[in-house]
Amino acid sequence: MNSKLRALVLTSIVLASILATAGIGAAQEHDTETSAATNATGNYVIEQGDQQYQVEPLESGETIEEFYDYRNHQTHPDDVERDYSSHGTPHLQADDTTILFLHEGPNGLSLVMVHDQLNGETEGGVADFEITGLPADSEWVVKNDDYDSDTNIDEFDRGDGWASASWIWREGRTGGGAIQGGLDDEFSLTIDPAYNDNARFSDEDEYDHPEDDFYDDGEIDSIHVLSGDADTPDRIPLDSLDEPITIRSGAPDSPSVAHDRTDDGVHATVADATEDDRIELQPTHGSGDSVTFDRLSVTGIEDETSFEIINGHPETPSPSPDGVDSASHLTVTSDDDGEYDTTVEFTVNKTWLDDNALEPEELTLYTEGDAGWNETATAVAGETDTTYQYSANVTTPAALTVAPSQEAGDDTPFVLYGLGGGLAAGVVLSLGWMLNAKRRST
């Protein structure tokens, strides 16, 4: 290689490195901001139909398990009053009423629901909740009732982006539970309630309890949202037992997102957004077990817009190199022709990277284009003992795929998309062309 070509090669390598580093650095700076999207204001809103109220979590200094104080024969001995009910909230409970509130404790924010009144004038009841839009880290931490016995038929489920419960309880006792995890960041979740004749266990075919007189057709007739002081909170009655209830972080005048569960994923409806608002959508996990899509932060939405977030992607050949399958797929569509700037945050298990002999920086988020899959600038935004967190900026609607980055061969052009990526790739490809030309001339 002559001195002029060597100098040009070195210059090209340095320029490519600077441009690529600039692109990744800018993405990482942006990702640090978005990954820290905590609800710093501490504002929360509950909505049902035309009703909208700003609410405050009940702060007790206790964990939600301690505050709820659920007792059954497996958690408390015979000489302790238990009654398979919440013994920590009787001062909040009311006959034939569901209380719904947020609780702030040492382990973070929880969503709490308690049905009926312990030792009250009630004939029991039946209820179902389906909760959609939950962060990936959310789980049932209190289950009233959940114990091993032929007399317990309550069911609690946790699925991809949703959780559900079906309760039945006898006179003078409570049903309920608490969900925790992921709610200290921005969130918007929707509860679809069903009570009385609309509840699952009101159906004799579903109600298969060994005690014929366990449930005596008691009914819930109201839902109260609690806010403020943990001893004497404000009580807000909701208008309907049937309409969905949305609970979200943010101020009353901020955009609202309602989530509905679908057969393939989640349907999200955004209302009252302006073009500059950043909207947090809760995606499903994706199609792979080793990757979790955590959050979609979308800007550019105006008016009411709906999104379908679906596990899987169109029947397009995988962008993965030979021998390594794509880790996960997600498809985002909308009901209009708009294009939206979107930050995608996802988490990858370290074991998957190890099993495929990949370094963290070798993983990329792809979007599907007219000519195939396009790489985006993808940055490692965080790390735990078992996972890496990533962030990438894309334009949606789009099909998304997490897979190893392609390696451009000597004669194979491959354009990187994203901040700095296209320029860096162009320099590298030019360098490859020059080296090939040099080899052909010798």
pLDDT in tens, 211-221: 766 777 899 99
Length of the chain: 442
Quick one: average pLDDT of 152-174? Answer: 94
Same-domain status, 425 and 280 = yes
Residue 216: predicted pLDDT: 76
Same-domain status, 331 and 182 = no
Whether the per-residue pLDDT at 7 is higher than 50: the answer is no
Residue 110: predicted pLDDT: 98
Same-domain status, 200 and 272 = no
The 3-state DSSP composition of the chain as helix, strand, coil percent (nearest 5) reads 15, 40, 45
Residue where the block lists tokens 């901020």: 254
Contact at 8 Å (CB) between 100 and 113? yes
Residue 203: predicted pLDDT: 82
Tell me the residue range of the domain where 241 lies: 44-248
pLDDT tens-digit map of 300-330: 999 899 999 999 887 888 787 766 788 999 9
The DSSP 8-state label assigned to residue 253 in this structure reads T
320: Cβ contacts below 8 Å, ≥ 6 apart: 326, 403, 404
Residue 209: predicted pLDDT: 65
291: Cβ contacts below 8 Å, ≥ 6 apart: 285, 327, 328, 346, 347, 348, 349, 352, 402
The DSSP 8-state label assigned to residue 297 in this structure reads E
Q: Which residue has the higher pLDDT, 244 or 76?
A: 244
Same-domain status, 150 and 263 = no
Q: Which residue has the higher pLDDT, 175 or 427?
A: 175
Same-domain status, 106 and 173 = yes
Q: Is the torsion defined by CA of 120, 122, 125, 129 positive or negative? A: negative
Contact at 8 Å (CB) between 425 and 377? no
Residues linked to residue 341 through DSSP beta bridges, in sequence order: 299, 395
Q: Which of 195, 225, 248 is the last residue of a domain?
A: 248
Residue 151: predicted pLDDT: 78
Total domain count, the chain: 2
Same-domain status, 191 and 281 = no
Please tell me the distance from the alpha carbon of residue 44 to that of residue 268, in angstroms, as a whole number: 19
Same-domain status, 78 and 186 = yes
Residues linked to residue 267 through DSSP beta bridges, in sequence order: 260, 308
Contact at 8 Å (CB) between 374 and 403? no
CA gyration radius, the chain: 26
Whether the per-residue pLDDT at 134 is higher than 70: the answer is yes
Same-domain status, 437 and 396 = yes
Tokens, residue 430: 């030019």
Residue 362: predicted pLDDT: 94
Cβ–Cβ contacts within 10 Å for residue 376, how many?
A: 21
pLDDT tens-digit map of 66-85: 999 999 988 888 889 899 99
Tokens, residue 393: 């900026």
Alpha helices in 215-266 (DSSP H): none
Same-domain status, 237 and 288 = no
Please tell me the distance from the alpha carbon of residue 424 to that of residue 417, in angstroms, as a whole number: 10
Task: With cut-offs at 50, 70 and 90, classify the pLDDT of residue 155.
Answer: very high
Quick one: average pLDDT of 223-238? Answer: 98
Q: Is the torsion defined by CA of 12, 17, 18, 23 positive or negative? A: positive
- Which one, of 219, 234, 177, lies nearest residue 55 by Cα? 234
Q: Which of 208, 227, 248 is the last residue of a domain?
A: 248
**Rounded percentage of the chain residues whose pLDDT exceeds 90:** 69
Please tell me the distance from the alpha carbon of residue 281 to that of residue 259, in angstroms, as a whole number: 9
Whether the per-residue pLDDT at 206 is higher than 60: the answer is yes
Task: With cut-offs at 50, 70 and 90, classify the pLDDT of residue 33.
Answer: very low
Same-domain status, 300 and 269 = yes
Tokens, residue 398: 């789009």
Quick one: average pLDDT of 351-357? Answer: 95
Cβ–Cβ contacts within 10 Å for residue 280, how many?
A: 24
Mean pLDDT, the chain, rounded, equals: 84
Residue 210: predicted pLDDT: 66
Quick one: average pLDDT of 275-294? Answer: 94
Same-domain status, 193 and 83 = yes
Residue 42: predicted pLDDT: 72
Residue 374: predicted pLDDT: 92
Q: Which of 187, 221, 248 is the last residue of a domain?
A: 248
Same-domain status, 242 and 156 = yes
Whether the per-residue pLDDT at 113 is higher than 50: the answer is yes
E strand segments, 95-138:
97-105, 108-115, 125-132
**Rounded percentage of the chain residues whose pLDDT exceeds 70:** 81
